[in-house]
Amino acid sequence: MGKITTILFDYDGTLMDTDEIIIDAWQYTYRKMTGKELSVEEILESFGEPLRETMMKYFTGEPLEEAIEIHRRHQTDTYLERLEMFPGMRELTLQLKEKGYKLAVVTSRRTPTTIMGLEKFQLMDAFDCIVTADDTVTHKPEPEPAIFAMEKLDSRPEETIMVGDTVMDIGCGQAAGVKTVMATWALAAQKDLGGMVPDYRINAAEELWSVLEALDAE
């Protein structure tokens, strides 16, 4: 193995294709609470944030806890049935594990549904560490989730990369001092990064091998 020993993966939009699941839950919740719908563009702006933080912005005049419960219940009702991984991501994860890389999930999703998804695809043993919104005080794009994962894995920033699809992921990785890789296959990856520039972009799972080779050659 070369210079990179540790890979931090985002969950939603990177490992798992949850775009439509999340959008549907937001639209259902917004209809229930306000009688209206949000635009898909507005919903995508919240991707990568913990649910409660987004709810506090969108539901200022409505009961917050009720909105959170509606959203979570609607999403969970069909979550496992609809959940799929992006092409090549399961194979990539298992290959990286076999090669000896230390792997972590670093997500703003809560623990129960994160574990449910990994268990569905028999990937719990592939990840050495799972960091969710339940584990840290601050969340992406703050560095704490990535730093927490590195501490648990006994890894240094210079040997770690962060792979994600949103400005939240790239911001978290950069703030934690690690190289960042933008995965471009989910809807949120089409959003403007606001001037933030990831170190690498990949359009397919297998392209991560080229990134690792380039970093190890530096």
Examine the domain organization and report whether 26 and 10 are in the same domain.
Answer: no
| Annotated catalytic residue within 10, 12, 19, 135 | 10
Domain count for the chain, please give it.
Answer: 2
Residue 170: in which H helix or E strand, if any?
helix 167-175
The answer to whether 10 is a known catalytic residue is yes
Residue-level pLDDT at 124: 97
pTM of the full structure = 0.90
Examine the domain organization and report whether 62 and 132 are in the same domain.
Answer: no
Backbone angles phi, psi at 57, to 5 degrees: -85, -40
150: CATH = 3.40.50.1000
pLDDT digits (tens, 9 = 90+) for 142-195: 999 999 999 999 999 999 999 999 999 999 999 999 999 999 999 888 777 778
Examine the domain organization and report whether 172 and 187 are in the same domain.
Answer: yes
Q: H helices then E strands: how many in the chain?
A: 9, 8
49: CATH = 1.10.150
Assess if residue 1 is contained within a domain.
Answer: no
The whole-number average pLDDT for the span 62-73 is: 88
Residue 98: in which H helix or E strand, if any?
helix 89-99
Which of 65, 64, 22 minimizes the C-alpha distance to 44? Answer: 22
Tokens matching residue 218: 């530096």
Assess if residue 90 is contained within a domain.
Answer: yes
Which of 39, 57, 82 represents a domain boundary (last residue)?
Answer: 82
Examine the domain organization and report whether 28 and 95 are in the same domain.
Answer: no
Contact indicator for 8, 178 with CB cutoff of 8 Å: yes
Examine the domain organization and report whether 67 and 119 are in the same domain.
Answer: no
Which of 38, 66, 82 represents a domain boundary (last residue)?
Answer: 82
Residue 6: in which H helix or E strand, if any?
strand 6-9
Residue-level pLDDT at 58: 80
Examine the domain organization and report whether 94 and 182 are in the same domain.
Answer: yes
Q: What is the DSSP secondary structure assignment for residue 11, as one 8-state letter?
A: T
Q: At what angle do helices 19-34 and 64-82 cross, to 10 degrees?
A: 150
Domain residues for the domain of 34 are 19-82
